[in-house]
Chains A and B, each alone.
Chain A
Amino acid sequence: MANMNMIQALNSAMDIMLKRDPSVVLMGEDVGYFGGVFRATEGLQRKYGEHRVLDTPIAEGGIVATAIGMSVNGLRPVAEIQFADYIYPGFDQIVSELARIRYRSAGEFFAPVTIRTPCGGGIRGGQTHSQSPEGIFTHVSGIKVVMPSNPHDAKGLLITSIEDDDPVVFFEPKRLYNGPFDGDPTKPAVPWSSHPKGQVDEGYYKVPLGKADIVRAGAEVTILTYGTMVFVAAAAAAAMNVDAEIIDLRSLVPLDVDNLCSSVRKTGRCIVAHEATRFSGFGAEVLSIVQEECFWDLEAPIQRVTGWDTPYPHAFEWEYFPGQARVAMALKAVMELP
Chain B
Amino acid sequence: MSQYVFKMPDLGEGTVDAEIVAWHTKPGDAVTEDQLIVEVMTDKAAVEVPAPVSGRVVSITGAPGDKVAVGSPLIVFEVAATGAPAASMPAAAAAAAPAAEPIPTAAGPRQGRVMASPANRRRAREAGIDLSTVAGSGPGGRILRGDLVAARPHSAANASAAEAAVSGPVVQSRPAGADVSAETSEIKVIGLRRLIAERMSEAKRNIPHFAYVEEVDVTELESLRLHLNLSRPADAASMSYLPLVVMALIKVLESFPQCNVLYDAERGVLVRHRAVHVGIATQTSDGLKVPVVRNAQSLGLWEVAAEIRRLAERARSNKATRDELVGSTITVTSLGKLGGIASTPIINAPEVAIIGLNKAIERPVVHQGAVAVRRIMNLSSSFDHRFVDGYDAAAMIQALKELLEHPAMIFIPKVKSK
Residues of chain A touching chain B, judged by Cβ–Cβ distance below 8 Å, are: 268, 295-300
**Interface contacts beyond A295-B118, A296-B121: sample of 9 additional A-B pairs, CB < 8 Å, sorted by A:** A268-B119, A296-B119, A296-B122, A297-B118, A297-B119, A298-B117, A298-B119, A299-B118, A299-B145
Number of A-B contacts (CB under 8 A): 18
Chain B neighbourhood of A300, CB < 8 A? 117
Cα(A268)–Cα(B123), bound, Å: 13
Chain B neighbourhood of A268, CB < 8 A? 119
Proximity string of chain B (117-154) to chain A, C-beta cutoff 8 Å, 1 when within and 0 when not = 11111100000000000000000000001000000000
Report B81-120 residues with CB < 8 Å from chain A CB. Answer: 117-120
Chain B neighbourhood of A298, CB < 8 A? 117-119
Chain A neighbourhood of B118, CB < 8 A? 295-299
Proximity string of chain B (336-361) to chain A, C-beta cutoff 8 Å, 1 when within and 0 when not = 00000000000000000000000000
Cα(A296)–Cα(B121), bound, Å: 8
Measured CB to CB, the closest approach of chain B to A24, in angstroms, equals 48
Cα(A297)–Cα(B120), bound, Å: 8
Measured CB to CB, the closest approach of chain A to B309, in angstroms, equals 48
Cα(A299)–Cα(B121), bound, Å: 10
Measured CB to CB, the closest approach of chain B to A77, in angstroms, equals 47
Chain A residue with minimal CB distance to B139? A336
Chain B residue with minimal CB distance to A301? B117
Chain B neighbourhood of A297, CB < 8 A? 118-119, 122
Cα(A67)–Cα(B42), bound, Å: 77
Measured CB to CB, the closest approach of chain A to B12, in angstroms, equals 23
Chain A residue with minimal CB distance to B126? A296
Report B180-217 residues with CB < 8 Å from chain A CB. Answer: none
Chain B neighbourhood of A295, CB < 8 A? 118
Measured CB to CB, the closest approach of chain A to B386, in angstroms, equals 25
Chain B residue with minimal CB distance to A297? B119
Cα(A296)–Cα(B120), bound, Å: 8
Give the most central of A268, A296, A297, A300: most B CB within 10 Å: A296
Proximity string of chain B (260-286) to chain A, C-beta cutoff 8 Å, 1 when within and 0 when not = 000000000000000000000000000
- 10 A–B contact pairs at CB < 8 A? A295-B118, A296-B118, A296-B119, A296-B121, A297-B119, A298-B119, A299-B118, A299-B119, A299-B120, A299-B145
Cα(A296)–Cα(B117), bound, Å: 8
Cα(A268)–Cα(B145), bound, Å: 13
Measured CB to CB, the closest approach of chain B to A300, in angstroms, equals 6
Measured CB to CB, the closest approach of chain A to B194, in angstroms, equals 33
Cα(A295)–Cα(B116), bound, Å: 12
Measured CB to CB, the closest approach of chain A to B121, in angstroms, equals 7
Chain A residue with minimal CB distance to B123? A296
Cα(A256)–Cα(B117), bound, Å: 26
Chain A residue with minimal CB distance to B125? A296
Measured CB to CB, the closest approach of chain B to A302, in angstroms, equals 11
Chain A residue with minimal CB distance to B145? A299
Cα(A299)–Cα(B143), bound, Å: 11
Cα(A298)–Cα(B121), bound, Å: 10
Cα(A35)–Cα(B111), bound, Å: 67
Chain A neighbourhood of B120, CB < 8 A? 299
Measured CB to CB, the closest approach of chain B to A288, in angstroms, equals 15
Chain A neighbourhood of B122, CB < 8 A? 296-297
Measured CB to CB, the closest approach of chain A to B122, in angstroms, equals 4
Chain A neighbourhood of B145, CB < 8 A? 299
Cα(A296)–Cα(B122), bound, Å: 6
Give the most central of B117, B120, B121, B145: most A CB within 10 Å: B117
Cα(A295)–Cα(B125), bound, Å: 14
Measured CB to CB, the closest approach of chain A to B137, in angstroms, equals 13
Measured CB to CB, the closest approach of chain A to B57, in angstroms, equals 40
Chain A residue with minimal CB distance to B122? A296
Chain B neighbourhood of A299, CB < 8 A? 117-120, 145
Cα(A244)–Cα(B192), bound, Å: 47
Measured CB to CB, the closest approach of chain A to B308, in angstroms, equals 43
Chain A residue with minimal CB distance to B121? A296
Measured CB to CB, the closest approach of chain B to A293, in angstroms, equals 12
Chain B neighbourhood of A296, CB < 8 A? 118-119, 121-122
Measured CB to CB, the closest approach of chain B to A284, in angstroms, equals 19
Cα(A298)–Cα(B122), bound, Å: 10
Chain B residue with minimal CB distance to A268? B119
Q: Which 6 A-B pairs have the closest CB atoms?
A: A296-B122, A298-B118, A295-B118, A299-B119, A296-B118, A299-B117
Chain B residue with minimal CB distance to A294? B118
Cα(A296)–Cα(B145), bound, Å: 13
Cα(A268)–Cα(B117), bound, Å: 10
